[in-house]
Amino acid sequence: MNTDRQKTNKSWLLIILIIVAATTIIAQMLVSRYQQKQINACNKQFLLTAQQLIQKKHAADIAQKKTYHNQRYDFSISYPETWFVNETDDVVLISNEQRTNESFALWLKNSGDYSEKFLGYFISVYSKNNIDDWNHYQERQQNDAQKYTEKTEYLLTNGQKITLYVERAVNFKHPQGKYAQMPLPDANAYIEYNNYGIALSVAPNGHDQQIDILKQTLSTIKFDDNLMTKSK
């Protein structure tokens, strides 16, 4: 009799555990889906604001444009028709007459050594999984009093905060793996990012006309709603 009762109790306990486990899994899925929607909404707001900030800083215009589309990350960007594009799995390099000091790169990798930067201009697209490492990197660099010459914060309408750092950056890494010195020793890298994972990084080398073209080009970049999912 006791044996039958024990078996019954064990069966009920097993059923309860299964129900609890199933409920937990379903709840986690719902929460994850809600969080992803929130992340995508915030990224949209951030990108629009970042583009507005970029557009306010330049006066030059690109008369004739070509459009590059990246299928892997599903984004597009316009650039001067006289420039050309080199593409690998990790980098899209847009250059002017094959001169790397008059070019910029779309750095598509989700991880890497942030101290290895490119010669010229670059923009980085980071995933949510990787942004904690990016924040940790920023915290490490804050220890260098000379590292940043400016820090400005912008508050979005949804309460999300964008931080713009002006970084003193001299040595940059060419996509072929070679290090090179920037034309000016006091070149700056402008870094705009939010806590959810999109980072826009620009390293001007002091030529105003090139910087204007770069900012005009960056203002055309467009991502789809599934960016964060595809970039993981």
Looking at residue 18, what is its pLDDT? 72
CATH topology of domain 49-230: Protein Transport Mog1p; Chain A (3.40.1000)
Find where tokens 């790169």 sit. Answer: 105
* pLDDT digit string (tens) for the chain, length 232 residues: 556 655 565 666 667 667 766 666 665 665 556 555 655 555 555 455 444 544 443 334 455 677 877 676 566 777 777 777 777 655 566 665 544 444 555 544 433 333 333 333 334 333 333 334 444 444 444 433 333 333 444 333 334 443 433 333 333 333 344 333 333 223 333 333 333 333 334 433 333 334 445 455 555 655 444 333 333 2
pLDDT at position 85: 75
Give the angle 67-167-98 at the CA atoms, nearest 5°. 40
Q: Give the pLDDT of residue 185.
A: 27
> Could you write out the three-class secondary structure of the chain?
CHHHHHHHHHHHHHHHHHHHHHHHHHHHHHHHHHHHHHHHHHHHHHHHHHHHHHHHCCCCCCCCEEEEEECCCCEEEEEECCCEEEECCCEEEEEECCEEEEEEEEECCCCCCCCCCCCCEEEEECCHHHHHHHHHHHHHHCCCCCCEEEEEEEECCCCCEEEEEEEECCEEECCCCCEEECCCCCCEEEEEECCCCEEEEECCCCCHHHHHHHHHHHCCCEECCCHHHHCC
Report the candidate in 69, 41, 167 with the shortest Cα–Cα distance to residue 115: 167
pTM above 0.75, yes or no: no
Q: What is the pLDDT of residue 84?
A: 73
Residue 38 has a pLDDT of: 56
Question: Of 189, 212, 223, which Cα lies nearest the Cα of 47?
Answer: 223
| Number of neighbouring beta carbons within 10 Å of residue 120 | 26
Amino acid at 175: P
Distance CA 137, CA 59 (A): 33
Query: What is the pLDDT at residue 83?
Result: 72
Instruction: Tell me what pLDDT residue 88 has.
Output: 63
Q: Torsion over CA of 123, 125, 129 and 135, rounded to 10 degrees?
A: 20
Domain residue ranges in the chain = 49-230
